[in-house]
Chain A
Amino acid sequence: MVEVRPHSILIIGPTTSDKNVDLSTAVYDTVDILHQLGYKLSVIVEDPTSLLSSGKFFDRIIVERVTGEHVLNFVHEYHPDAILPTVGDRNALGIVSSLNGKIDNVKILGSNYMASLATFKRELFIKKLTDNKLPVINFISSDDEKEIYSFIRSIGFPIIARRRYSNRHSSGWTNINNLFELDNFMALEDIDDSRIEIERSIRGFSEYSFTVVRDRFDNSALIGTIEDIEPIGIHHLDSNLISPAISLNDSKLQRMRTASLKLAQAFDIVGICTVHFAYNHKTNEYFITEFIPRLSEESKFLEYATSYPIATATAELALGYHLDKLKLDGGRGFNGASEPFVDHITSRFPQWGTSAQKYLGPSKTSNSSIVVNGFSVEEVFNKGALNDKLNSNTDRRKALEELDDDQLFEKIIHPTNWMLDVLLEALRRKFEMPVLSEITGITMPYLTVLSNILKTNTAIENNEIGQDNIERLVEMGFKGIGESKLLLDTDDIVTKTVVKSKRSISVSNKNYNNQNFFVTSGISSDLVLNDKNKIIVRSPIITSKRDVMVRQFVLTQLIKSIDQNGLEAVVIGREPWTAPLGMREKVIEIDDPYMEMQSLNLIPKDSIFKTIDFSRHLIDTDDNSNVFQISSKLMKDITIPSEISLRAMVVTDGNNYLVPSVIYRKERDGHSFEISSYNNFLPIEDRSALSKLIEQELENYTDVNVFNFEFAKSNGHWIITKVYQGMTNDIIRHELASSVHVIDTLVKLILGNKIEDNKTLEEIYQNVDDRYLLTIDDKRYNLLRYDAIKEQIDKIQKED
């Protein structure tokens, strides 16, 4: 039978849930490559701003709640050849597993019914693994007491147990260490109304995740390994993560690699699969705890750590490409049959929005994360989890110092997000490391790392830094922290540890004939600059999912624009930014956790055309003359109650200005409606009135800038209520709904271009785009055409 390759693909996009991780770059890479390969793409998405693009890649953008029903409706209406669920987080797999038997010949790419279902149904997961002789934790679900006791006799203690009630709810897991505790648990409630679920306890085991890719010809490669510093029992994404997994010897690594590949084969996953393991280093027992047959936080992290283009490869593999014959941006070949090794450590440290301590457990509590690079674990600890500038570790230390030993011990027993600080304090008080390791499940090498950091901190505090121990400090990444000025004065080691550029990811492959990206991949101390003028972009630390989206969007558009305008972009951030694949060769990404780039002068000053500061915390320069602040700054704030308000983005060259996008906002019956870009519907008298207000406000500004104005209508008059200098979060909506590319316009103005004089109001409010975004209660956005939006506006106004 001749197989027909899919031509039109429906992508199940991400939901807006904060629980989902940000996969916007992966989505961008996926649609970018599929578009280039000539596929007709549709996407179902809850928030089109998460696509990071103006929709040019898509044939259709369906803005709906991402559910099985809506996917099914789309399939019945438009008959796509295939569905790609791998960029849609866990929700997309749930949808796929519910579509079995309902979508006829529509192919599921990347995952399949069985794999998707097994990520939700534990019994199926266990059966499949057991059938394939893969190590899985013993599990029983039974209402027969005899069967339960017999099962426990076969596996021994400790176990975890819970009740699953007939209404499908369940109790929390209880740790049971002996027969006495089991008898008590069994006696707690009558078994009639519930089933007892029992698993072998793996509490305290170390956690690892292995990510593999597999093609339809059964060729697989291990892309990367991650280890959790915290043991099983604490959510993987609340743990501090290290890649590669440095605590695995060859035998352990190969056992888990083999099991990962076998699992991908067992479920016939064509694309990507991340497999989680629990490993007991004392007994060498190990179990597969879960698998993720889609792109995930792990794949995003590993894409950064290894430079392997995971999202692109996953999409192509799903379409049937051979692992060693993948295509990159621009049609270049890429040999995906590479198991990248790295010469550095990449770490992901979770971040919480609040400075208060949070107890950690099996449920995720963190809001975001910070990724850092280094050559030793000490270095990544110092740059990340113990970096005072990120985590206020000094304040944490002061708080912990006030605790007595018993209180501190309590904090060791019940892990919180301050665990590394708590352990540092415990080591400071000479608690024994083996005891700490036994209680916390954090292995000895990491405790030794903390002990090393402690010793070095003490040396710094006691002013004992000299030529003798300077190398040790460099090894631990202490460079540049306050007291250690000596380090900065020692030229030969300055570039060794401070600047990590991701540009030079190719070391020994230049003679390889099929365009391997890397042999040694990742960071480099070499800064290879071309002779173009540079625009330096300082990127921000992110603290929420919304921040991630704005950062990803603005940086993506900025880099694209800087490159298109003939300059070289250098993105410097306290944590690295991963550009979409197609842009990686157009940008130098520098990881500068201590904000030292300025003082090191590693980029020739005369080649820097401008610095665009998006970091909000530019602290390493006194020279602000060449810095363009792009982050928003509130200049005016008046509160006027009004049901109708407008938000306008204004770009000015200092003399003239443009209003590329206006957002119309209306409050009605406790609901809010927003429409952008409303400037196409603005009556002439409103345009004129707003322009007068803008002109008055801009009178005092003579430089290139971008402003966000908020207007309210009171007693028939427009009044300015807020003025922001710089870009607000509205930038995505303005940019998506406007035919004028605001960020590109801004870059052009920064380069010295001017807005023409004597523009008419029509030209100032120019926007010929026929796509608009409708927002209802900040939740849903609809990308509509002119007629549809006109109808919507009329409807709102009529009802009013």
Chain B
Amino acid sequence: MKRYLILEDGTVFPGVGFGSSIITTGQLVISNNRTGIEQSVTDPDAEGQILAFTIPSIGSSGINRDFYESINSQCKGVVIGSSSHTTIDGSVSFGDWITGLGIPGIKNVDVRALAKHISEHGEMKASIMDTHDEHAIDQIKALVLPPDLVKRVSTRQSYPNPNMGIKIVVVDLGLKYSILRQLSYRDCNSVIVNYNSTPEEIENLHPDGIIFSNGPGAPSDIPQTIETIKVLQKKYPILGIGLGNLLIALANDCKIIKLDQPHHESSLAVKEVASGKIDFVNHNHSYTIDQKYISSSDFIVTNICVADGSIEGIRHEYLPIMCVLFEPEAAPGPNDGYYVFDEFIDLIDSVKFQDDGGRDQW
């Protein structure tokens, strides 16, 4: 069935519909991930987004449910060029998988032209529809994207991810399972809590360290979490990832800016400023921290994106706070960033060591 991807600016890309036949609207995001369709579609960061994949022949590698990053799919639609009709491992085909998830999709789209258009005109809303008249375009323009994306994806109730190691509270802003997987590999005893948890609720869990996770939407949508960070950062080692990083920056008077070219790529290089070491890591963010305000803050820049020079990681000068904007847990993408979890645990250990020596505050 012929369907259309209609952009907010009126540009229309024709294609063939697959998956659910419902009309869908959301923020259009160009994903340059080479692999990891399962992770991308189930990533809570994709809440409210229509994902356009630029890789060809999607689905040949099969669909593996072990790669899910949340219980269900999160995105509102998928746009692809071509897909494979069978898989190498005999698992369900991409088309059937998308249909099973109830997500609308559109294929045979000139994704290269689409990617170019978005890179020139910026991210925008889009819709997958059966028609492409003016009325449809007006509807998209008038649509206001919901500001409560984190609320939608964050866990409503706290739950444990038990183990025998150090205790980490993970504040779920749109948590990917792979963060928990990485913590489990390191024997961390973690508890996952709602984004709206109060400082007291978190403190009552007696954490050794706290992670503010990745998540969808803009940081300004959840001011209450910024206030929580302000209280907790003086007492606990903190790791911020993605949205968590942006919130920590805002809690410390830094400014946030939108990237000219958003980072949605499973293998983009970041450089560790201190050593010059280059790592390839998964990126999925449209915002970064404004360089201008860093020098007057208590943060130092630890990582930058090699391609555009934007900030990808910061560290507090005297508090045990470390943050990265990229996704160290990969999923999808290279595992070059796993060291971030090790460093965080080292940070917790060093703080604990100092505590044991008699220090109880910083």
Contact of B277 among A218, A222, A509 (CB under 8 A): A218
A249 touches B62 (CB 8 A): yes
B261 touches A375 (CB 8 A): no
Contacts of A520 in B (CB 8 A): 32, 54, 112, 115-116
B161 an interface residue at 8 Å Cβ cutoff?
no
B307 touches A512 (CB 8 A): yes
Render B15-53 as a binary contact track against A, CB cut-off 8 A, 1 for contact: 010000000000000101111101100000000000000
Q: Say yes or no: A342-B269 contact (C-beta < 8 A), given A246-B61, A250-B333, A322-B276.
A: no
B64 an interface residue at 8 Å Cβ cutoff?
yes
Contact of A471 among B108, B309, B335 (CB under 8 A): B108
A444 touches B278 (CB 8 A): no
B90 touches A444 (CB 8 A): yes
B88 an interface residue at 8 Å Cβ cutoff?
yes
Q: Which residue of B lies closest to A244 (CB)?
A: B34
A254 touches B333 (CB 8 A): yes
B308 touches A512 (CB 8 A): yes
How many angstroms from the CA of A281 to the CA of B39 in the assembled complex?
20
Render A288-312 as a binary contact track against B, CB cut-off 8 A, 1 for contact: 0000000000000000000000000
A524 touches B112 (CB 8 A): yes
- Min CB–CB distance A224 → chain B (angstroms): 10
How many angstroms from the CA of A721 to the CA of B266 in the assembled complex?
64
A266 an interface residue at 8 Å Cβ cutoff?
no
Contact of B56 among A222, A335, A376 (CB under 8 A): A376
A250 touches B280 (CB 8 A): no
- Min CB–CB distance A734 → chain B (angstroms): 42
B113 an interface residue at 8 Å Cβ cutoff?
yes
Contacts of A492 in B (CB 8 A): 14
Contacts of A471 in B (CB 8 A): 2, 16, 108
Tell me whether chain B's interface is mostly helix, strand or loop, or mixed: loop
How many angstroms from the CA of A443 to the CA of B87 in the assembled complex?
9
B330 an interface residue at 8 Å Cβ cutoff?
yes
- Min CB–CB distance A460 → chain B (angstroms): 19
How many angstroms from the CA of A510 to the CA of B260 in the assembled complex?
10
Contact of B82 among A249, A376, A507 (CB under 8 A): A376
B115 touches A508 (CB 8 A): yes
Q: Say yes or no: A249-B61 contact (C-beta < 8 A), given A281-B88, A343-B54, A343-B115.
A: yes
A345 touches B56 (CB 8 A): yes
A341 touches B32 (CB 8 A): yes
B354 an interface residue at 8 Å Cβ cutoff?
no
A49 an interface residue at 8 Å Cβ cutoff?
no
Contacts of B86 in A (CB 8 A): 444-445, 447-448
Contacts of A474 in B (CB 8 A): 108
| Interface residues on chain A, number (Cβ under 8 Å) | 61
Contact of B261 among A219, A512, A524 (CB under 8 A): A512
B84 touches A445 (CB 8 A): yes
Contact of A511 among B261, B306, B330 (CB under 8 A): B261
How many angstroms from the CA of A248 to the CA of B308 in the assembled complex?
29
- Min CB–CB distance B47 → chain A (angstroms): 21
| Interface residues on chain B, number (Cβ under 8 Å) | 60
How many angstroms from the CA of A59 to the CA of B75 in the assembled complex?
60
B67 touches A251 (CB 8 A): yes
Tell me whether chain A's interface is mostly helix, strand or loop, or mixed: loop
Within 8 A of B (CB), among A218-233: 218-219, 221-222
B139 an interface residue at 8 Å Cβ cutoff?
no
Within 8 A of A (CB), among B62-114: 62, 64, 67, 81-82, 84-90, 108, 110-113
How many angstroms from the CA of A257 to the CA of B267 in the assembled complex?
11
Contact of A246 among B60, B268, B271, B335 (CB under 8 A): B60
How many angstroms from the CA of A516 to the CA of B32 in the assembled complex?
15
How many angstroms from the CA of A277 to the CA of B86 in the assembled complex?
23
B54 touches A246 (CB 8 A): no
Contact of A448 among B16, B84, B330 (CB under 8 A): B84
Q: Which residue of B lies closest to A374 (CB)?
A: B56
A341 touches B67 (CB 8 A): no
How many angstroms from the CA of A274 to the CA of B347 in the assembled complex?
38
Q: Which residue of B lies closest to A206 (CB)?
A: B88
Interface centre among B32, B111, B309 (most CB of A within 10 A): B32
Contacts of A448 in B (CB 8 A): 84-86
B115 touches A247 (CB 8 A): no
- Min CB–CB distance B135 → chain A (angstroms): 22
Contacts of B261 in A (CB 8 A): 508-509, 511-512, 519
Contacts of B81 in A (CB 8 A): 343, 375-376
In the complex, number of A-B residue pairs with CB atoms less than 8 Å apart: 175
Q: Which residue of A lies closest to B30 (CB)?
A: A508
Render A169-196 as a binary contact track against B, CB cut-off 8 A, 1 for contact: 0000000000000000000000000000
Q: Say yes or no: A507-B112 contact (C-beta < 8 A), given A249-B62, A324-B271, A475-B82.
A: yes
B10 an interface residue at 8 Å Cβ cutoff?
no
Q: Say yes or no: A525-B112 contact (C-beta < 8 A), given A250-B67, A253-B34.
A: yes
Q: Which residue of B lies closest to A255 (CB)?
A: B335
B334 touches A254 (CB 8 A): yes
B331 an interface residue at 8 Å Cβ cutoff?
yes
A249 touches B307 (CB 8 A): no
B260 touches A324 (CB 8 A): no
Q: Say yes or no: A248-B35 contact (C-beta < 8 A), given A341-B54, A445-B86, A526-B113.
A: yes
Interface centre among A217, A248, A343, A514 (most CB of B within 10 A): A343
B111 touches A343 (CB 8 A): yes
B64 touches A323 (CB 8 A): no
B56 touches A247 (CB 8 A): no
Contact of B84 among A246, A254, A337 (CB under 8 A): A246
B327 an interface residue at 8 Å Cβ cutoff?
no
How many angstroms from the CA of A486 to the CA of B231 in the assembled complex?
68
Contacts of B158 in A (CB 8 A): none
How many angstroms from the CA of A248 to the CA of B90 in the assembled complex?
13
A337 touches B269 (CB 8 A): yes
Contacts of B306 in A (CB 8 A): 324, 335, 337-338, 514
- Min CB–CB distance B295 → chain A (angstroms): 19
A7 an interface residue at 8 Å Cβ cutoff?
no
B8 an interface residue at 8 Å Cβ cutoff?
no
How many angstroms from the CA of A523 to the CA of B115 in the assembled complex?
13
B232 an interface residue at 8 Å Cβ cutoff?
no
A496 an interface residue at 8 Å Cβ cutoff?
yes
B112 touches A377 (CB 8 A): no
Q: Say yes or no: A525-B307 contact (C-beta < 8 A), given A254-B334, A324-B271, A337-B269.
A: no
Contacts of A250 in B (CB 8 A): 35-36, 38-39, 67, 266, 331-333
Contacts of B218 in A (CB 8 A): none
B57 an interface residue at 8 Å Cβ cutoff?
yes
Contacts of B118 in A (CB 8 A): 508
Contact of B267 among A339, A377, A449 (CB under 8 A): A339
A728 an interface residue at 8 Å Cβ cutoff?
no
Render A252-270 as a binary contact track against B, CB cut-off 8 A, 1 for contact: 1110011000000000000
A514 touches B307 (CB 8 A): yes
How many angstroms from the CA of A343 to the CA of B57 in the assembled complex?
9
A250-B266, A254-B330, A444-B87 given; name 11 further pairs at CB < 8 Å.
A244-B34, A246-B84, A247-B61, A250-B35, A339-B267, A341-B34, A376-B56, A508-B116, A511-B260, A511-B308, A514-B307
User: What would be 28 A-B contacts, judged by CB atoms less than 8 Å apart?
Assistant: A221-B269, A244-B55, A246-B56, A248-B61, A249-B64, A257-B334, A281-B88, A324-B278, A337-B278, A338-B307, A339-B334, A341-B34, A344-B56, A345-B56, A377-B60, A444-B90, A447-B86, A471-B16, A496-B110, A508-B115, A508-B119, A508-B261, A509-B261, A512-B261, A514-B307, A519-B119, A523-B112, A526-B116
Which residues of B are in contact with A by a Cβ distance under 8 Å? 2, 14, 16, 30, 32-36, 38-39, 54-57, 60-62, 64, 67, 81-82, 84-90, 108, 110-113, 115-116, 118-119, 260-261, 265-269, 271, 276-278, 280, 306-309, 330-335
In order of increasing CB-CB distance, the 8 nearest A-B pairs are: A508-B119, A250-B36, A376-B82, A249-B61, A250-B35, A337-B269, A250-B332, A219-B278
